[in-house]
Amino acid sequence: MGHSDLTVLLLALAALLVAARVCGELARRLGQAEVLGEILAGVLLGPTILGRFAPAVQGAIFPAAGTPPAVTLAGIEQLAVGLFLFVAGMEVSLAAVRREGGRALAVSVGGMLVPFALGLGVALWVPHAVGATDGGSTGFALFFAVAMSISALPVIARTLIDLGIYRSGIGAVVIPSAIIMDLVGWLAFAVVLSAVDRHGGMPTSVAQTVMLTLGFCAVMLTVGRWLIDRALPWVQAYLSWPGGVLGFAFALALGSAAFTEWIGLHAIFGAFVAGVALGDSPHLRPRTRVVLEDFVRSFFAPLFFAGIGLKADLIGNFAPVVVGTVLAVACAGKLIGCGLGAWLSGLGPRAAAAVAMALNARGAMEIVLASMRFGLIGQTTFVALVVTALVTSLVAGPAIQRLLALKQVRGLANWLPPRAFVRRLQSDDREGAVRELVAAAGPAGVEIETAVQAVLAREVSAATGIGGGLAIPHARLAGLHTPVLALGVSEAGIAFDAADGRAARIIVLLLTPGEAEDEHLGLMAQVARELADPAVQRQVVQARSHTELIALLRAGTVAE
Amino acid sequence: MGHSDLTVLLLALAALLVAARVCGELARRLGQAEVLGEILAGVLLGPTILGRFAPAVQGAIFPAAGTPPAVTLAGIEQLAVGLFLFVAGMEVSLAAVRREGGRALAVSVGGMLVPFALGLGVALWVPHAVGATDGGSTGFALFFAVAMSISALPVIARTLIDLGIYRSGIGAVVIPSAIIMDLVGWLAFAVVLSAVDRHGGMPTSVAQTVMLTLGFCAVMLTVGRWLIDRALPWVQAYLSWPGGVLGFAFALALGSAAFTEWIGLHAIFGAFVAGVALGDSPHLRPRTRVVLEDFVRSFFAPLFFAGIGLKADLIGNFAPVVVGTVLAVACAGKLIGCGLGAWLSGLGPRAAAAVAMALNARGAMEIVLASMRFGLIGQTTFVALVVTALVTSLVAGPAIQRLLALKQVRGLANWLPPRAFVRRLQSDDREGAVRELVAAAGPAGVEIETAVQAVLAREVSAATGIGGGLAIPHARLAGLHTPVLALGVSEAGIAFDAADGRAARIIVLLLTPGEAEDEHLGLMAQVARELADPAVQRQVVQARSHTELIALLRAGTVAE
């Protein structure tokens, strides 16, 4: 790998990571799953946008196909998706899967049969509407039917993680269903390929692949799991820490991935199952989990997801009718099949719809690309499949959020705009401090003086110094539309009649609308909880700017 | 990337990681730096050993040159060394470098001029003795002189990290010296290549490269460092955690690496300098450091170091005279040059020798490989340079250890063989417990009863219950050759007259040789310190096996 090759590789990696991060953050701001932003980052940097409007820039950053950096990038993406699924597997709760196993089976059977039948019917009946170039061979129809019924475990897992429901009841139905559908889908794909492609490439026959797959899963989740659980204390006791246990995890992930790839399945399955087996052990330490999850999620995962969007020119080969038909068939099949399965197995209509929406997300681009190699589908079907993958993934996050009425948790940091932070309170008495904080909070639609008096009246009826150097003066105000908060620090401390007799150094003012009693209490509790830790309090007192304050409040809400 | 390509890539990665881990652990057991084991793992798996004795196996695991998996592996190795130097840079203490800057300059000037002059002289005078095939061109002599004077920052950094002296006074001299020598070495290499290779390949002239390099370092370590320090709180406050700050770090590392590669230097310099600038900020949180360091050191670093050994067939092209001469010239030049510089700048003879030994370590294989492309050197010189790199790296660790009389820190875990752990003490009184523990410890050369009486006599003169549920009965015994310990757990607790009145649940027996008073006190303090944390004590009481005990004692000695 020469000078310019390495430069291009590093540039491409840096560009993908930066774009994925920026778009991911924007998606999060808009209440979407980060993974969507990452996929769209790839579309922006790829032939669709950057390649169309600034091909010279695109060519300088991203390597031409077949060159060493392009080959390396493709290899790193494969490694990335394997490691991502290994880490996702580590978070699977086997107990939850066991509990929801029957339901997952119902969902996945429905979610495979309906799309397969629908896809096969459409591809045989109106092949041109889904982009067939040769009048529609049986091979094309079979491939199309499989493509309709396959899922996208990586995208689905990421979407649920981003929404914070990966380990919830919904997650316990969706993830096993996606695993089953993808497993069967890949196996079916292997069958189709071996039927079409007589020249080999597969080292094993289809029957062997199926047997080996089932055997691998069974062994890994029983004997393998037991062995890993026994091996972990030994590894942590006698090998260097933390290098030993991390090396053990990597060997397990890569070895299993190599095995499932070799038997004709995809590498991601081995990695995922290995992750499940490892993550189930109570001997795995928190630090090991954190290191693996943080690094893989912030380095490898964005590279893979942005890589999806990078591969296709979505505009050049866009055929509206084909795209519309494929999208309609794909959504109809999955939503009806999965939704029906979930509903028949006893889920409520909203939960069933959420399960169907989650499983409707696609993105298994490798299958699409692989099929190109075998000449099964043309460019228009290819683009239609990519658009379907993007649109279904795009829709999944917001739809689930709406169906389950998920609320974003707003930390204290979200309630404190820059003006609401008073770094040093001037007053050294209660009334003065309250007045300063009300002015800083600036409650819209309420007179400052009205608010001050309401807060002070409250102080008379019950002191708001909650002890430990923290006070939360508060009031509910008619006419206020939304809660407002302000945080002030007193160098000398101000007496707020706390039970422990300590003066308050951190004073948080809380004003809420008159009717919102629940919200009022919730915010009180949240302030008390987020500022409970003496270490956090110390840092708040020392914060030199609003940015530093926000940074440490946000860090306080996660395990450091 | 097809099925079999991906299988081979994953297999190769898994094999490299497993072999590197196993050999690294063996090296550590033998008191050597882990990196050595990793390099030797590559030699074992490469053409030298596995390829010679089981070529079919080697061919099945490792891809043939030029195939997609081989290209990917080479690319990942480049990425790996970049990320490794980024992380190594994060640990550089700029304050220490400033303090030792003058000395480092003296060391590096000596360490470049002497080897360069020696190398040039030998290559011009007896070209055949160092493997020249064409009677010795000026180009060959220049290249050889540069190769003699260049260093290997990655290997040196790893060796010092493995020995635990990266941040010591020696490290503060060695690392800046290695940086200067490698910087100048790579620049000199660029000059030689541009003199030999008139057909281009370099995007910039040599003068430009030198200017841009100095400019990049200056800007990055002043304005860049200041900007990073200002940006970090913002990134941690407003982007998702920890993805935001990790993405920021990756973008910084890869962007800087791409820049230095592009200007004609090597990517590792940009990554290293970026790491220094980032690591210097007090706003970088411990969790971010831990995630980056743990993952890079246990995944990327072993891949790179094992990759060094993987590249050459050390037996097939071995010419004893050439290898001997090259090794002698290399060691003489570096040791004399660096040692003289260190000694003249005021270091004592042992420290100066340790500095010279550290800087004598080579391993910059890329330069050697790159030179092959330009036809400058033949296979025999190539192998001689690789052997030199291996031997000098091999010797560095033990030599430094001996010169500085470094002792390995032995944690409590190292003092407790399986028989010395009594999971449940049978006795519920002091004498019985001591008797059980003495029997478990099995002090060689001393009667059990003598030891028991000595310990009990000590108990009479001063109680050994140190409070918090821990007791350390102990005695110094004439005739004992080495300290012995035993650890017992009492379910009910045994009174050891602790000041806090609590019965001891964990009882550690400590017997040391009669004359070793310092060692006795040191071990007492170590036991007390390692078992001080109530959380650790709780886990010790619950440990179900010796392995679990050792695992948690070792984890207790590092930050979880």
pLDDT single digits (tens) B490-529 = 988 898 888 777 889 999 999 988 876 777 777 887 788 7
- From the list A17, A285, A545, the residue facing B247 with the nearest CB is A17
Chain A contact present for B9, CB below 8 A? yes
Across the range B251-264, mean pLDDT stands at 92
Chain B contact present for A171, CB below 8 A? no
- From the list B75, B244, B294, the residue facing A1 with the nearest CB is B75
**What's residue B204's pLDDT?**
57
Which chain B residues are within 8 Å of A542, Cβ to Cβ?
none
| Collapsed DSSP state (helix, strand, coil) of residue A471 | strand
How far apart CA B448 and CA B518 sit, in angstroms, is 24
Nearest-Cα distance to chain B for A387, in Å, is 23
* H or E element that contains A488: strand A484-494
Which chain B residues are within 8 Å of A548, Cβ to Cβ?
233, 237
- From the list A3, A24, A298, the residue facing B261 with the nearest CB is A3
**From A548, which residue of chain B is nearest by alpha-carbon distance?**
B233
Which chain A residues are within 8 Å of B254, Cβ to Cβ?
10-11, 13-14, 17
Let me know if B463 is exposed, middle or buried by CB neighbors in 10 A (0-12, 13-18, 19+): middle
Across the range B51-59, mean pLDDT stands at 91
Find, among B47, B7, B319, the residue nearest to A255 by Cα: B7
Q: Give, in order, the Cα–Cα distances in Å from A473 to each of A186, A325, A537, A538.
A: 60, 60, 17, 20
Chain A contact present for B87, CB below 8 A? no
- CA-based end-to-end distance of chain A: 39
- From the list A236, A240, A248, the residue facing B551 with the nearest CB is A236
At position B357, the amino acid (one-letter code) is M
Q: Which of A1, A3, A552 is the best substitution to test chain B (most B C-beta atoms within 10 A)?
A: A3
Chain B contact present for A237, CB below 8 A? yes
Strand A465-467, strand A470-471: pairing: antiparallel
Strand B465-467, strand B470-471: pairing: antiparallel
**What's residue B543's pLDDT?**
83
Which chain B residues are within 8 Å of A550, Cβ to Cβ?
237-238
Q: Give, in order, the Cα–Cα distances in Å from B264 to each of A474, B186, B269, B479.
A: 63, 9, 11, 66
Find, among B438, B415, B422, B442, the residue nearest to B505 by Cα: B422
Find, among A110, A226, A103, the residue nearest to A176 by Cα: A103
pLDDT(B472) > 70: yes
pLDDT(B409) > 60: no
**From A21, which residue of chain B is nearest by alpha-carbon distance?**
B247
| Collapsed DSSP state (helix, strand, coil) of residue A476 | strand
Taking residue B416's Cβ as centre, other Cβ atoms within 10 Å add up to: 21
pLDDT-wise least confident of A173-187, B62-76, B194-208, B284-298: B194-208
Contacts of B41 (CB under 8 A, 6+ apart): B16, B19, B20, B22, B23, B24, B302, B306, B309
- For chains A and B, count residue pairs whose Cβ atoms are closer than 8 Å: 249
At position A99, the amino acid (one-letter code) is R
Q: Which of A77, A298, A554 is the best substitution to test chain B (most B C-beta atoms within 10 A)?
A: A298
B420's tokens: 């010395």
Alpha carbons within 13 A on the beta-carbon side of B324? 4
Q: Catalytic residue among A128, A474, A481, A546, which?
A: A474
- From the list A72, A202, A233, the residue facing B551 with the nearest CB is A233
Beta carbons of A79 and B291 less than 8 Å apart:
no
Which chain B residues are within 8 Å of A264, Cβ to Cβ?
3
Chain B contact present for A444, CB below 8 A? no
pLDDT(B214) > 90: no
Q: Provide the angle, in degrees to the nearest 10, between the axes of the packed helices B206-219 and B267-279.
A: 10
**What's residue B368's pLDDT?**
62
Which chain A residues are within 8 Å of B373, Cβ to Cβ?
2
Beta carbons of B76 and A76 less than 8 Å apart:
yes
**From A34, which residue of chain B is nearest by alpha-carbon distance?**
B240
Nearest-Cα distance to chain A for B205, in Å, is 14
**What's residue A463's pLDDT?**
74
- CA-based end-to-end distance of chain B: 39
**B340-395: per-residue pLDDT in tens?**
999 999 899 999 999 999 999 886 555 665 665 566 777 788 888 888 888 888 88
* H or E element that contains B220: none
Mean pLDDT, chain B, whole residue set: 85
Print pLDDT tens along chain A (560 aa). 667 889 999 999 999 999 999 999 998 888 677 888 898 899 899 988 999 999 999 988 888 888 999 999 999 999 998 999 899 888 777 877 788 888 999 999 999 999 999 999 999 999 888 888 776 688 888 888 988 988 888 888 888 888 878 877 888 899 889 888 887 887 787 777 666 654 444 555 777 888 888 899 899 999 999 999 999 988 888 888 788 999 999 999 999 999 988 887 788 889 999 999 999 898 888 889 989 999 999 999 999 989 887 877 888 888 899 999 999 999 999 999 999 999 999 899 999 999 999 999 886 555 665 665 566 777 788 888 888 888 888 888 888 888 887 765 567 877 888 888 988 898 888 999 999 999 888 888 888 888 999 898 888 877 788 777 889 898 888 888 888 899 999 988 898 888 777 888 999 999 988 876 777 777 887 788 788 777 778 888 888 888 888 877 776 543 33
**What's residue A526's pLDDT?**
78
Chain B contact present for A243, CB below 8 A? yes
Strand A470-471, strand B470-471: pairing: unpaired
What is the number of helices (H) and of strands (E) in chain B? 24, 6
- From the list B11, B78, B202, the residue facing A1 with the nearest CB is B78
| Collapsed DSSP state (helix, strand, coil) of residue A363 | coil
How far apart CA B483 and CA B476 sit, in angstroms, is 9
**What's residue A21's pLDDT?**
95
DSSP 8-state assignment for residue A495: -
A474 is annotated as an active-site residue = yes
Beta carbons of A75 and B68 less than 8 Å apart:
yes
Contact A203, A250 (CB under 8 A): no
At position B343, the amino acid (one-letter code) is W
Nearest-Cα distance to chain B for A407, in Å, is 17
**Segments of B90-185 assigned E as strands:** none
**From B292, which residue of chain A is nearest by alpha-carbon distance?**
A295
Nearest-Cα distance to chain A for B214, in Å, is 19
**Whole-model pTM?**
0.79
**What's residue B2's pLDDT?**
67
More confident residue, B115 or B131: B115
- From the list A71, A250, A299, the residue facing B250 with the nearest CB is A299
**What's residue A558's pLDDT?**
35
B263's tokens: 């200007």
Residues of chain B numbered 357-376 and touching chain A (CB < 8 Å): 373
Residues of chain A numbered 177-236 and touching chain B (CB < 8 Å): 201-203, 233-234, 236
Beta carbons of B298 and A79 less than 8 Å apart:
no
Q: How many residues does chain A have?
A: 560
Which chain B residues are within 8 Å of A302, Cβ to Cβ?
247
Nearest-Cα distance to chain B for A481, in Å, is 25
Contact B1, A81 (CB under 8 A): no
Q: Which of A25, A36, A238, A294 is the best substitution to test chain B (most B C-beta atoms within 10 A)?
A: A294
Q: DSSP string spanning B324-365?
A: HHHHHHHHHHHHHHHHHHHHHTT--HHHHHHHHHHHH----H
ipTM of the complex: 0.78
Find, among B498, B512, B504, B506, the residue nearest to B441 by Cα: B512
Chain A contact present for B240, CB below 8 A? yes
Which chain A residues are within 8 Å of B9, Cβ to Cβ?
75, 78-79
Let me know if B165 is exposed, middle or buried by CB neighbors in 10 A (0-12, 13-18, 19+): buried
* H or E element that contains B27: helix B3-29
Domains, in order of start, for chain A:
3-403 (1.20.1530.20), 412-556 (3.40.930.10)
DSSP 8-state assignment for residue A514: T
- Computed on alpha carbons and rounded to an integer, the radius of gyration of chain A in Å comes to 28
**What's residue B557's pLDDT?**
40
**From A554, which residue of chain B is nearest by alpha-carbon distance?**
B237
Which chain B residues are within 8 Å of A76, Cβ to Cβ?
72, 75-76, 79
CA A506-A507-A513 angle, to 5 degrees, is 145
How far apart CA A172 and CA A113 sit, in angstroms, is 21
Which chain B residues are within 8 Å of A267, Cβ to Cβ?
6-7, 10
Q: Which of B298, B303, B305 is the best substitution to test chain A (most A C-beta atoms within 10 A)?
A: B298
More confident residue, A279 or B150: A279
Across the range B299-314, mean pLDDT stands at 86
Chain B contact present for A411, CB below 8 A? no
Contacts of A136 (CB under 8 A, 6+ apart): A123, A124, A127, A128
Across the range B407-417, mean pLDDT stands at 74
**What's residue A394's pLDDT?**
83
Strand partners, B510: B474, B485
Across the range B194-222, mean pLDDT stands at 74
CA A318-A320-A321 angle, to 5 degrees, is 130
How far apart CA B149 and CA B454 sit, in angstroms, is 61
Which chain A residues are within 8 Å of B295, Cβ to Cβ?
246, 291-292, 295
Q: Cis bond leading into B302, ω under 30°?
A: no
How far apart CA B359 and CA B399 sit, in angstroms, is 12
